[in-house]
Amino acid sequence: MMKTSPIIIITGRSGSGKSTAMAALEDAGFYCVDNMPVMLLPQFLALSLSREAAGLSLVMDLRERGFLSAYPSVLDRLQRQGYRFEIIFLEADEETLLRRYSQTRRQHPLSGDGGLVDAVRAEAEMLKPLRKNATRVIDTSRCSVHELRAMILEIAQTYVEPAPMRINIISFGFKFGPPREADLVFDVRFLPNPHFDEALRPMDGEADKIREYILNPEKSRLFLAKLFALLDYSIPLYKQEGKAYLTIAVGCTGGRHRSVAVARALYEHITQPDPQSGFQVEIHHRDIFQD
């Protein structure tokens, strides 16, 4: 690990959102490790990690019993060697933590005979010195998962360029079932169907004649204009929300003609420099060769 690479340690109170923070940093291109034993950190930093990683993110907390006693000396020694750390401390009020544990039914790392309330209060007391030494303290009591994710991504962007949102466009046939991974599904079975023209039937939606047949009628052009406008508006909002992947599925009956032509039109529109830019876009015709 290069000493100039950013190293972010996520820590704080149990139930405060550390897993969400780690997932956000992973989407930002960081190499992430959960529950890293602090005594192993020097050896881990000596490893040659992927050059493609934007940095390193480590979740460290009271799940490791020796964390609080060991981290000051370990981090101090590494800092003297030239490593630089940012410590993000996540916390939430007692009522919020109790509610989250009630909803998830997970066991608190300090749970014992005293019950959950005692464990939450004991942890807060034990973490006071770490909280004081943190680079940033984030109270997640009133944060949704999406809001916390957005805050962490904003921090990550101070170190690295934001990763482009990946947009996957899939054409499919409804008779084979819609893609399970789809975020948005558009049914285009109302468009002109070349299947009923014997001369056009053997072709697929990538052929110029098929695209002209499907997309040139007025109702098709009006539909595409409205669909493009919807996506021009909504895709930046998905990105703003911190979404790393967006899957747009376009379906017709068999997945060979209409859905393929519309999916290709969407791909060409989104990959234009204007109005959409900065996205990594892929297209896949799932059922184009199905019978």
- Token readout for 6 is 């950013």
Q: Is the pLDDT of residue 86 over 80?
A: yes
Q: Is the pLDDT of residue 52 over 80?
A: no
Domain count for the chain = 2
Would strands 85-91 and 7-12 be described as parallel, antiparallel, or unpaired?
parallel
Q: Are residues 141 and 195 in the same domain?
A: no
Q: Are residues 100 and 189 in the same domain?
A: no
Closest CA to 154 of 9, 25, 287: 25
Q: Are residues 139 and 238 in the same domain?
A: no
Identify whether 46 is part of a domain: yes
Q: Are residues 129 and 82 in the same domain?
A: yes
Q: Are residues 176 and 142 in the same domain?
A: no
Q: Is the pLDDT of residue 51 over 70?
A: no
Query: According to the model, what pLDDT value does residue 99 have?
Result: 92
Query: According to the model, what pLDDT value does residue 121 have?
Result: 94
Per-residue pLDDT, averaged over 253-266, amounts to 97
Query: According to the model, what pLDDT value does residue 2 have?
Result: 66
Position of tokens 């939606």? Answer: 205
Q: Are residues 16 and 148 in the same domain?
A: yes
Query: According to the model, what pLDDT value does residue 113 have?
Result: 67
pLDDT in tens, 28-39: 889 999 999 999
Q: Are residues 187 and 130 in the same domain?
A: no
Percent of the chain with pLDDT over 70: 95
Range of 4-8, 208-212, 276-280 with top mean pLDDT? 208-212
> In which domain, by residue range, is 111 found?
7-156
Domain final residue, candidates 103, 130, 156: 156
Are residues 174 and 253 in contact, defined by beta-carbon separation less than 8 angstroms? yes
Q: Are residues 191 and 272 in the same domain?
A: yes
Q: What angle do CA 210, 213, 215 make, to 5 degrees?
A: 100
Identify whether 77 is part of a domain: yes
Mean pLDDT of all residues belonging to the chain: 91
Q: How far apart are CA 103 and CA 119, in angstroms?
A: 17
Q: Are residues 133 and 31 in the same domain?
A: yes
CATH value at residue 83: 3.40.50.300
Identify whether 290 is part of a domain: no
Per-residue pLDDT, averaged over 73-100, amounts to 94
Domain final residue, candidates 97, 122, 156: 156
Identify whether 291 is part of a domain: no
Would strands 30-34 and 55-59 be described as parallel, antiparallel, or unpaired?
parallel
Domain final residue, candidates 156, 179, 208: 156
Per-residue pLDDT, averaged over 229-239, amounts to 93
Q: Is the pLDDT of residue 275 over 50?
A: no
- Token readout for 76 is 């101090």
Q: Are residues 150 and 178 in the same domain?
A: no
Identify whether 1 is part of a domain: no
Query: According to the model, what pLDDT value does residue 65 have?
Result: 85
Q: Are residues 134 and 185 in the same domain?
A: no
Are residues 10 and 32 in contact, defined by beta-carbon separation less than 8 angstroms? no
Q: Is the pLDDT of residue 124 over 60?
A: yes
- Between residues 124 and 146, the one the model is more confident about: 124
Q: What is the pTM of this model?
A: 0.70
Position of tokens 């934007």? Answer: 54
pLDDT in tens, 161-201: 767 789 999 999 999 999 999 999 999 999 999 999 999 99
Strand partners, 169: 248, 283
In the 3-class helix/strand/coil scheme, how is the chain assigned residue by residue? CCCCCCEEEEEECCCCCHHHHHHHHHHCCEEEEECCCHHHHHHHHCCCCCCCCCEEEEECCCCCCCHHHHHHHHHHHHHHCCCCEEEEEEECCHHHHHHHHHHHCCCCCCCCCCCHHHHHHHHHHHCHHHHHHCCEEEECCCCCHHHHHHHHHHHHCCCCCCCCEEEEEEEEEHHHCCCCCCCEEEECCCCCCHHHCCCCCCCCCCCHHHHHHHHCCHHHHHHHHHHHHHHHHHHHHHHHCCCCEEEEEEEECCCCCHHHHHHHHHHHHHCCCCCCCCEEEEEEECCCCCC
Q: Are residues 23 and 116 in the same domain?
A: yes
